[in-house]
Amino acid sequence: MSLSWSRILPTGSIDNINYNAINHYKNVLNEVKKQGMIPFVTLYHWDHPAIFDKFGGWNSEKMIIAFNNYAQVVFENFANIVKFWSTINEPIAYCYYGHGKGELPPGDTFNGKGPYICGHNMLVAHAQVYHMFKNKFNNSDSQIGVVNVCWNFYPANSSEPESADIAFEYNCGWLSNPIFSKEGDYPDIMKQRIKENSYLEGLSTSRLPELSKSMIKLIKGTSDYFGLNYYTSKMATNVKKTPSEKWFEDSGVNMTINNEWPIDVAAWLPIVPEGLGDMLRIIKNKYNNPPVYILENGIPSDGSSYDLVRTKYFYSHMKEMLIAKNRDDCNVKGYVVWSLLDSFEWLFGYSQPLGIVHVDHNSSQRTRTPRTSFYWLKDIIHQRALPSTFITPNKTYKY
């Protein structure tokens, strides 16, 4: 679950804590634990007090201080009841859509610099909060980290195997490499290409902020686990190098969908379960096999109760996860589907339901109805085993 910064500090000031929100979250967390579950809590899932956007939000270093203040309030109130923490969910996606494409608040299209500045500030803020937690609030069994969404990539042309590696670095390695790699710092290919493009554009410095030696030391190792959100994969193709101020063109790689991959209701999300296994093996080999928690994995459906495609999606991805874990010794520690309830998706609203529980948003009671995938997952959790082959549940299946 995630906490709302705006709800806890509605004016952004630590002098104006909303204790009704604090008590609400305490009640929720205690009930979760009472029901035998372990809460995994995210500090920031893309909402913050609107007043911060007056100084540029995550494009300003002031946001680093504000995030530290917010995190301290949260830890002071919840560190004794929460074991697993995530600082920021999907920082790359937030910076790309909020400060690059302008499709999410604050809607910036900031001349090729915005996503990099945003990501840089988020990375520093995460590291500072990590150290604060370890120094002031850590329990012997507490864990804190960051969660990145990572697509897996395959080269579209066998003669260009490097295209998939480059795409990975721009879409996952960008904010993973400084934390998990042996050397720290941003990926070399990013530093090189963005610097070259910046000079071609007439800029005197790279659009990608530099990590100083002290920053590299501050950031490296600041995650007790690799938080992974995986949904799908893409194909990668090298493209002709041209000067560009657009973040997504700096890589020199075009990312497309393989038309042979199956899709359901969302054309943007082909079903590629083997991509999850390959991603886990990449993480193992690049980052010295850190503990991995898969914290989002799912697919939209047409909204019906009999969501067979989603159920098969979960099965096929769990199977690939177990192959990576049991055959290839990938250090997978946990798996969480997205999502429990039909939720408001940032880019699609309520039009692409992802919940294993249907929510009737036209009802004043927001009536909840479990789907087939809910009962299937309940069965798997109780059995604590995945069948060797998928058994299709019938439309009246309940566990």
Q: How far apart are CA 17 and CA 15, in angstroms?
A: 6
Annotated catalytic residue: which of 31, 103, 196, 296?
296
Q: Measuring CA to CA, which residue among 294, 292, 318 is closest to residue 373? A: 318
Establish whether 201 is a catalytic residue: no
> What is the C-alpha to C-alpha distance for residues 151 and 228, in angstroms, rounded to an integer?
10
245 is catalytic: no
**Among 292, 385, 273, residue whose Cα is nearest residue 330:** 292
118, 58 Cβ separation under 8 angstroms: yes
Q: Max Cα separation, the chain?
A: 65
Q: How far is CA 294 from CA 48, 145, 156, 194, 225, in A?
A: 25, 13, 26, 30, 10
Dig out the tokens for 102 from the structure: 């302008």
- Among 31, 61, 76, 90, the active-site one is 90
Nearest partner of 104 among 350, 354, 345, 353, judged by Cα: 345
> Are 326 and 367 spatial neighbours (Cβ–Cβ below 8 Å)?
no
Type and span of the H or E element at 240: none
Q: Chain centroid to CA 31: how far? A: 26
Helix (H, G, I), strand (E, B), or coil: what is residue 64? helix
Q: Which residues are catalytic?
A: 90, 296
